[in-house]
Structure 1
Amino acid sequence: MAISALGSCWGLYSEANFRRKADFYAKHQNQTIDRKIVISPMVDDRARPVAKV
């Protein structure tokens, strides 16, 4: 299962929040998330290494 997020600007806080929401969804829906997809025209350079994990 893939989960996605759409945002106008993506930073470190956004990445951590998205990861936490994905984990919450997986736990409560009893699903395994294979991929996390972020769609954004602007990504903070500091968030790129965190997003690649």
Structure 2
Amino acid sequence: MTTLAGPGSPAGRLAVEPLIEQFAGRSQRAGEAIRLPTELVLRESSGPAKRRA
């Protein structure tokens, strides 16, 4: 299985902060893109299936 690894807690915070600001009536982030670093993690289970003899 191949996955993407990224910052879990910071990603959650960055997702919720604009919502809190919007509810408080001080939102300045309409349409703002937020980019976080990610890493492609190739696991041993990645690749073609093994052939059966």
Q: TM-score range by the shorter chain?
A: 0.3 to 0.5
TM-score where L is the length of structure 1: 0.41
Pair member with larger Rg: 2
TM-score where L is the length of structure 2: 0.41
